[in-house]
């Protein structure tokens, strides 16, 4: 069997029109722009309109990624949607996006690893593509966390936002790929931490959707160590290092976590792509949103070495290293 690489062909993203600033939030709960910026780096987030669902956001990001790739929906035979805020309990929201794109072949499914969802989805798509099961995948992260926030809880409602991002991955024979594609991925989870960041509802337990609950300090305490561990694994597996990477595109949860992780790893600040200020924590959507920004503004170029990482509820965490 010929060796295959999963090469990025295109990237796209979408943010809902409505913007909620820190000043707006200060009218809703006892908080301030100063507190939010100092603790998180977030200045504003986007909120889905009434009737605008995760599938709508994901579809727009997927369409933008297809345009960027110079492909059409007919070229896609795999859709993996990372989300914790599906339109419905089932069917998978990926199937709705598949239908809206007019695709009737291949497979589409959702993947749930909370904020780590995009890295988990990328690794899953890569495994399927390299096995030769599919030719081209849309890997989407799309979320409407505004629907599961407790808008009375200032400890959580200021942190999250809605949005979507997507990449098109293509299985390319090794000889043609010329070193491009996903080089390694490292996925982890540890359910001992499952009660530190969770939603207090679900179909099988309460029969309700529930609201996000979090022990912020506990999450913060574990985040940097977990993130740096999986990145160290990525470097060890590939022989790459903080010096050899071109861009670090972390999950956009919190400026302090991003800065502390980069500092611990010795990654120069100018290599770090940070977009959390503009859209808050969009969970599984945050990495492809940041990738799209850095690709469009000319930072990420063909052949660049790009390091991704995420950590989230579960806890789940993971890293991926790719040559664009
Ligand atoms: N505005 C003003 N005050 C607030 C707010 C707010 N929005 N939220 C909490 N406070 C208050 C608290 O009530 C507390 O007041 P008290 O001292 O009178 O009791 C005080 O601020 C300190 O609260 P802490 O929770 O200890 O504040 P901390 O410095 O830990 O910052 C934060 C909170 C920003 C949530 C921090 O713990 C953090 O960043 N945690 C990581 C959480 C995260 O990023 N989660 C995302 C999901 S996981 C992931 O994606 C990695």
Spell out where 153-284 has E strands: 162-173, 181-189, 197-199, 212-214, 247-250
Using CA atoms, how far residue 161 sits from 59, 152, 286, 300, in Å, is 18, 15, 10, 25
In percent, the amount of the chain with pLDDT more than 70 equals 100
Q: Which of 182, 125, 162, 142 is nearest to 5 (CA)?
A: 182
Give dist(CA 180, CA 6) in Å, integer: 8
As a whole number, mean pLDDT of residues 239-253 equals 98
pLDDT in tens, 281-311: 999 999 999 999 999 999 999 999 999 999 9
Q: What's the 148 CA to ligand 1 centre distance in angstroms?
A: 18
Ligand 1 neighbour 216 (Cβ under 6 A): yes
Helix (H, G, I), strand (E, B) or coil at 237: helix
pTM beyond 0.75: the answer is yes
Confidence of residue 2 (pLDDT cuts 50, 70, 90): confident
Fold of 4-177: Peroxisomal Thiolase; Chain A, domain 1 (3.40.47)
Q: pLDDT band for 160, please (50, 70, 90 cuts).
A: very high
Q: Helix or strand or coil: residue 152?
A: coil
**pLDDT for the residue 248:** 98
Instruction: Please check the confidence at residue 23 and state whether its pLDDT lies above 80.
Output: yes
**The pLDDT value given to residue 1:** 60
Active site annotation includes 27? no
What per-residue confidence (pLDDT) applies to 247? 98
| Residue 115, ligand 1, Cβ within 6 A | yes
DSSP 100: H
What integer pLDDT is reported at residue 229 of this predicted model? 97
Q: In the annotation, is 157 catalytic?
A: no
Q: Which two tokens stand for residue 301?
A: 């170029």
Candidate from 141, 220, 230 with most ligand 1 atoms within 8 A of CB, to mutate: 220
The CATH fold of domain 181-323: Peroxisomal Thiolase; Chain A, domain 1 (3.40.47)
pLDDT above 80 for 56: yes
| List 22, 115, 157, 193, catalytic entry | 115
Q: How far apart are CA 117 and CA 214, in angstroms?
A: 18
Provide the percentage of residues in the chain whose pLDDT is more than 90: 99
pLDDT for res 239: 98
Q: Where in the chain is the domain with CATH 3.40.47.10?
A: 4-177, 181-323
């Amino acid at each position: 069997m010929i060796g295959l690489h999963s090469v990025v062909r295109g990237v796209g993203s979408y943010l809902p029109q409505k913007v909620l600033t820190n000043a707006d939030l200060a009218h809703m709960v006892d908080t301030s722009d100063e507190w939010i910026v100092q603790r998180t780096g977030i200045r504003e987030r986007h909120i889905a309109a009434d009737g605008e669902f995760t599938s709508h956001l994901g579809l727009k990001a997927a369409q933008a990624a297809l345009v960027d790739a110079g492909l059409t929906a007919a070229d896609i035979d795999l859709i993996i949607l990372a989300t914790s805020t599906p339109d419905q309990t089932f069917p998978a929201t990926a199937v709705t996006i598949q239908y809206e794109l007019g695709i009737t072949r291949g497979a589409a499914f959702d993947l749930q690893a909370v904020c780590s969802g995009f890295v988990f989805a990328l690794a899953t798509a890569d495994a399927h593509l390299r096995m030769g099961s599919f030719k081209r995948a849309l890997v989407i992260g799309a979320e409407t966390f505004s629907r599961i926030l407790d808008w009375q809880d200032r400890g959580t409602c200021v942190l999250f936002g809605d949005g979507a991002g997507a990449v098109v991955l293509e299985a390319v024979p090794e000889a043609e790929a010329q070193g491009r594609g996903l080089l390694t991925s490292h996925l982890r989870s540890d359910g001992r931490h499952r009660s530190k960041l969770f939603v207090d509802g679900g179909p099988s337990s309460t029969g309700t959707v529930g609201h996000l609950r979090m022990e912020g300090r506990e999450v913060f305490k574990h985040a940097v160590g977990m993130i740096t561990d999986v990145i160290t694994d990525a470097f060890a597996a590939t022989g790459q290092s903080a010096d050899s990477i071109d861009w670090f595109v972390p999950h956009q949860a919190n400026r302090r976590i991003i800065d502390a992780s980069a500092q611990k790893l010795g990654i120069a600040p100018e290599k770090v792509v940070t977009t959390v200020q503009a859209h808050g924590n969009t969970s599984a959507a945050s990495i492809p949103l940041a990738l799209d920004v850095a690709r469009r503004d000319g930072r990420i170029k063909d052949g660049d070495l790009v390091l991704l990482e995420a950590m989230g509820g579960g806890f789940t965490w993971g890293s991926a290293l790719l040559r664009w």
